[in-house]
């Protein structure tokens, strides 16, 4: 039987950088972000024994191998080993948006793969299980320089605050009015910079500065914005929310650029300035930095003119995913 998982990508709003153990093992960390209606799809099908390979893995390349150890894709190989998979499998990966673009695609893929393999093995996992298993694969097994929020957004869906302290994760859904939530989602767009990058490589300098206590003030400010953002998102006035949130996103972006020299570059700064001049209230680069998508907050009545002004760049409107990772045909 063919099983397919659908796992959302995410946009992080505030607190990025405090979700790394390098920070929250010394200070409490917290982030606010959301899962979006752009997805990673992972399909898995058990193969018969008559084929001359045991594992077929299709992503940006195609692998056909006889053993798990021969699989080149590190997440696929490590996840199959982690679950003790022995049966032959055909695994196929598809995505709505490009990888390495700051939307947490690698973690969404890991969560989705774990979800579909668990379904094949008839294992019952909670959303927290999914997130924690993905963190284990990425950080402990593969030693990737990733934070721990992306896996949780992918697993849980919705708009959430995640707190990290004392080796515990606390999940707090943001309590928004329907008017404020609709206004927020009608005003968020992605603007593609055209640059793909590896988050693990980009964040090396930031983590070094974090370990050496060189960005304590900046990370503390980003953490403060996280708490303030919850109050703004949970207010009763959608107009006031957009104005305040736009200013806070801009403040957070200016602070984030101080974490590492690789967060931004002249090309990104120029595009961000153009987006603000075209009507955006504020925004930020998604993910660790260095490329990918800008997330911009643009009041709905300005979106048409905003898109026309930035006609040389892809502008993508967003919706909210509220389900998190699901197996569609289990």
Instruction: Give DSSP secondary structure letters for 224-277.
Output: HHHHHHHHHHTSS-HHHHHHHHHHHHHHHHHHHTTS-TTS--HHHHHHHHHHHH
Q: How many CB atoms lie within 10 A of CB 99?
A: 17
Chain centroid to CA 110: 11
- Record the pTM: 0.95
pLDDT on residue 49: 77
Contact 324, 158 (CB under 8 A): yes
**How many Cα atoms sit within 13 Å of 257 on the Cβ side?**
15
Q: How many CB atoms lie within 10 A of CB 152?
A: 30
Bridge partners of 90, per DSSP, are: 45, 56
pLDDT on residue 194: 84
pLDDT on residue 291: 87
CATH number of the domain located at residue range(s) 178-317 in this protein: 3.30.70.890
Residues 6+ apart with CB under 8 A from 64: 53, 55, 56
∠ CA 257-31-290, nearest 5°, is 30
CATH number of the domain located at residue range(s) 3-175 in this protein: 3.30.230.10
DSSP label at 137? I
Checking DSSP bridges between strand 188-192 and strand 315-317, what pairing results, if any?
Answer: antiparallel
Show the low-confidence residues of the chain (pLDDT under 50): none
At residue 149, the 3 state secondary structure works out as coil
Q: Where are the domains of the chain?
A: 3-175, 178-317
| Cα 197 to Cα 288: distance, rounded to the nearest angstrom | 9
pLDDT on residue 200: 60
């Amino acid at each position: 039987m063919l099983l397919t998982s659908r796992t959302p990508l995410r946009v992080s709003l505030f607190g990025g950088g405090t979700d790394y153990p390098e920070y929250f093992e010394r200070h409490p960390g917290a982030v606010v972000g959301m899962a979006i209606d752009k997805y990673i799809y992972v399909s898995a099908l058990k193969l018969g024994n008559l084929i001359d390979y045991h594992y077929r893995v299709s992503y940006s390349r195609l692998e056909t191998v006889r053993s798990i150890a021969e699989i080149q894709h590190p997440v696929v190989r490590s996840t199959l080993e982690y679950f003790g998979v022995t049966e032959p499998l055909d695994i196929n990966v598809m995505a709505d948006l490009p990888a390495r673009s700051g939307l947490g695609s690698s973690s969404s893929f890991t969560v989705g793969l774990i979800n579909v393999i668990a379904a094949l093995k008839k294992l019952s996992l909670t959303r927290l299980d999914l997130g924690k298993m993905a963190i284990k694969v990425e950080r402990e097994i593969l030693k990737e320089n990733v934070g721990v929020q992306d896996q949780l957004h992918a697993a849980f869906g919705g708009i959430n605050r995640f707190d990290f302290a004392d080796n515990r994760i606390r999940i707090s859904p943001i309590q928004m009015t329907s008017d404020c939530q609709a206004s927020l989602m009608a005003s968020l767009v992605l603007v593609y910079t055209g640059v793909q990058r590896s988050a693990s490589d980009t964040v090396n300098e930031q983590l070094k500065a974090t370990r050496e206590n060189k960005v304590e003030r900046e990370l503390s400010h980003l953490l403060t914005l996280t708490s303030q953002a919850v109050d703004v998102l949970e207010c009763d006035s959608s107009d006031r929310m957009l104005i305040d949130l736009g200013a806070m996103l801009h403040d957070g972006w200016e602070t984030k650029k101080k974490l590492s020299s690789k967060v931004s570059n002249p090309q990104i700064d120029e595009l961000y300035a153009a987006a603000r001049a075209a009507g955006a209230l504020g925004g930020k680069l998604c993910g660790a930095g260095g490329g990918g998508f800008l997330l911009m907050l643009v009041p709905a009545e300005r979106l048409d003119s905003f898109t026309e002004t930035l006609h040389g760049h892809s502008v993508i409107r967003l919706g909210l995913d509220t389900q998190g990772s699901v197996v569609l045909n289990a």
